[in-house]
Amino acid sequence: MVLLMVPLTSRTPKVHRFTLIEKGRNSVKKTLVVLIALISVATPALAAGGKFYVEMDTVGNCSVVDSKPGASAGMTILGNKDGYTSKEDATKALKGLPKGKCKGVVG
């Protein structure tokens, strides 16, 4: 970006250059370090968005899964139909099911 400034005492404009990105080898290294830092911070946040479900299969066995079971597969979602934010919460819900609800626990 070039900025022209005309002083009141002179007729020739003074040119000031402002660069947004430094040129040179060090600036590339700095940019790479910043990008790597941003990616490393963003990756766990993206991975944390997963849901866990308590499901019962067609035989009657229950388990905790990390993807929403399809209705066409014959799986039934037990507990929270929207899923649980952590595997520990889903496991706690599985253990809290009434006795006799599941024939067995898989996984």
- State how far the alpha carbon of 21 is from the alpha carbons of 24, 25, 32, 34, in Å: 9, 12, 13, 14
Share of the chain above pLDDT 90, in %: 17
Q: Write out the two tokens for 41.
A: 């911070």
pLDDT score at 69: 80
pLDDT tens for 36-70 read 666 666 655 555 567 899 999 888 899 999 888 87
Higher pLDDT, 72 or 106: 106
- What DSSP assignment string belongs to 54-68? EEE-TTSEEEEESSP
Q: What are φ and ψ of residue 30, in 5° steps?
A: -65, -40
